[in-house]
Amino acid sequence: MRGKILSADFFNRPTLAVAKELIGKFLVRKIGSRRIASMITEVEAYDGFHDRASHASRGRTDRNAVMFGGAGCWYVYLIYGMYWMLNIVTGPKDYPAAILIRGVADASGPGRLTKFFKINHRFNSKLTSRSSDLWIEDQRMKIPQRLIKRGPRVGVAYAGQIWSRKPWRFYILHSNSK
DNA sequence: TAAGTGATCTCT
DNA sequence: GAGATCACTTAA
């Protein structure tokens, strides 16, 4: 099954709108002649300068610089010494925002899906496209709106009540995500 | 419930 | 340079 590859324009829009629309799209990875594709079932938005749960909340650093760049680039970083986190940058240049892909139909959990797709730091700052071997497709999978739930983001208690409680996580009910 | 793992960030 | 932290997973 093939679909339309989402271009940078798709991601150069308000982060929450993009996040919600990513549910049901397909993450696709090309490894040699192999192709792996799996439907996105869970995402989390990190949006703007003031979001205290976001890496960008304390300004620009070497690590988070990609978040300040143009939309449609991958932001990949290592957490807990073991797990690669896959994010897609959203919004205009110089506005820090990204969406963490937390689950796909074949692998639930952000650390598990990067292992499943063999994703690591070498994708960081690359533009999503066929030539980067990692992109997102619209396969016109229709997910009923009532099945798309939203709730607080995971693992961000340190961000304080205001920010840790923002319902910026979107997920499909009764799939691989709780 | 707690250990594992290492890059990054915030102090000196 | 040192110490703490961390957008997680697994085994128990």
Tens-place pLDDT, residues A58-108: 999 999 999 999 999 999 999 999 999 999 999 999 999 999 999 999 999
Give the Cα separation of A101 and A42 in Å (integer). Answer: 6
Residue A173, pLDDT score:
80
> How far in angstroms lies nucleotide C6's C1' from the CA of residue A170?
22
pLDDT of res. A178:
40
Which residues in chain A, range 104-163, keep a C-beta under 7 Å from any nucleic strand C atom? Answer: 109-113, 153-156, 158
Using the structure, give the distance in angstroms from the CA atom of A4 to the C1' atom of B8, rounded to a whole number.
37
A173 strand B contact, CB < 7 Å:
no
Shortest-distance nucleotide from A78 CA to C1': B7
At A174 the pLDDT is 64
- Listed by start position, the domains of chain A span 4-172
Instruction: Sort A144 into a burial class: Cβ within 10 Å, 0-12 / 13-18 / 19+.
Output: exposed
Strand C lies under 7 A from the Cβ of residue A82:
yes
CA-to-CA separations, A131 to A69, A93, A123, A134, in angstroms, rounded: 19, 22, 11, 8
Domain at A4-172, CATH homologous superfamily = Methylpurine-DNA glycosylase (MPG) (3.10.300.10)
> Residue closest to B10, CA→C1'?
A58
Name residues of chain A where pLDDT drops below 50.
175-178
Query: Which nt has its C1' nearest the CA of A64?
Result: B8
Q: Provide the H-helix boundaries in chain A.
A: 8-11, 15-22, 110-116, 160-164
Tell me the CA–C1' distance in angstroms for A84 and B5.
12
Rounded CA–C1' distance between A109 and C12, in angstroms: 20
* pLDDT score for A1: 81
Q: Rounded CA gap, A99 and A2, in Å?
A: 23
pLDDT reported for residue A26 = 98
* Shortest-distance nucleotide from A112 CA to C1': C9
pLDDT value at residue A175: 47
CA angle A139, A125, A150 (to 5 degrees): 50
Q: Among A166, A175, A124, A125, which residue's Cα sits nearest to residue A148?
A: A175
pLDDT score recorded for residue A24:
98
Q: Which residue is nearest to nucleotide B9 (CA to C1')?
A: A61
Per-residue model confidence (pLDDT) at position A46: 98
